[in-house]
Structure 1
Amino acid sequence: MSVSRRTALAVFLSGAILVPAAGFVGPAMAQAISVRGLGPTTVQTERVRVVSVDRGTRNVVVERGGRQWRITVPAAFGSLAALRRRDRLDINRVESAIVAVTRAAPGARPDVFLTETANNGTFDNLPARWVVRSVTVTAEFTRLDGGVVHYVGPEGARTIRVVDPTVISALSTLRRGDMINLVFTEATQIVLTPRRL
């Protein structure tokens, strides 16, 4: 990879870190992040491959394990000009507990909607240059099991914790297969692993 491409990629996410993974030792890997209501929480890392980049809409389609989904990259993250098909991204993230759940509109399909927001104290000891976003995931409800919600969203089968009694009560009325909207907050960091040319 040329120096100019490496420099351009560093601009890709101004609020997050997007650098070659070779030689990268992220602070997130070495520590848990304290999340309000949940305590110390381990950083989740997902390695994905870039399938396509639509610079006009800022949609990046990524793939892992045969499943593809769309990530909408906010304008605050900078230019997508240097991101290429087959680049690999490590998406490091920490999620809050669910803050709201509603039934999805009839015919809804798995999707994710992200809105950049400020860290209002949800995450303590958050490493520098992480991005905090409000997340709404449209997903298929699987089950509620001891304060953990199981669902199938655009990224496949996932879980998330819930502590709010009101949200637990709403989830208790759902049946397996119901389409729902889950709302929570996440802190994210993205690290680029350049493709081999």
Structure 2
Amino acid sequence: MSLGAKTAKPRILDAAATAFATHGVDQTSIDDIARALGATKGKIYHHFGSKGELVCAIRKHSVQLTIDRVRPYFEAQNPPPEKFHAMAQAHVIAMISELAYHRVVVEEMRGSGTGRITDSERQLRVEITTLQSEYEDMFRNVLAKGISSGAFQDQDLSVTVRSFLMMLHAPIYWYKPRGPENCQTIANHLANMALGAVLVTDSKTCTVTHGD
């Protein structure tokens, strides 16, 4: 099986994310990923200079996938509580839909070693940090507008964003596929929890129960 030039990188990322999430980053070699693809490891090294670079590319892709799912709800012209809920719900669905990618991120953060850091890997890490900041800023923007309008509690934006995002990440650790309805129910439940944590006391009946 050959890898077409236009589809090679996405296919490599998908195969690597699945292999790393299933067997562990440290326990999975480039040879293992090549076998899963039905290709040579040279094909992988053509696109990624090292295993560490491949892991970083997965991390970057995981953030971009989440941004792509959440941004349309951020750009929608809705009141802050409705916008926040929709964004939080989309975030959870992203965690569940791209589970392998996000589980690799968690394992890498726990300290999986991939050897010497290359210049390309170092650049990818800078790009990941930039994307993460861009993503958190979308939620900060909505929170700031909600605070200004009186809908949200006046809280430290950075602490609040990072705290509720940790909660919205939760399915990475325990989710098992049970169908789209289960996914939507979990996303709605966690989004309601996140919204309840930022609404002012007399607005906490504003939780949302419908889908997106």
The answer to whether TM tops 0.5 is: no
The TM tier, using the shorter chain, reads under 0.3
With structure 1 as the length reference, what TM-score do the two structures score? Answer: 0.24
Answer with 1 or 2: which has the greater Rg: 2
With structure 2 as the length reference, what TM-score do the two structures score? Answer: 0.23
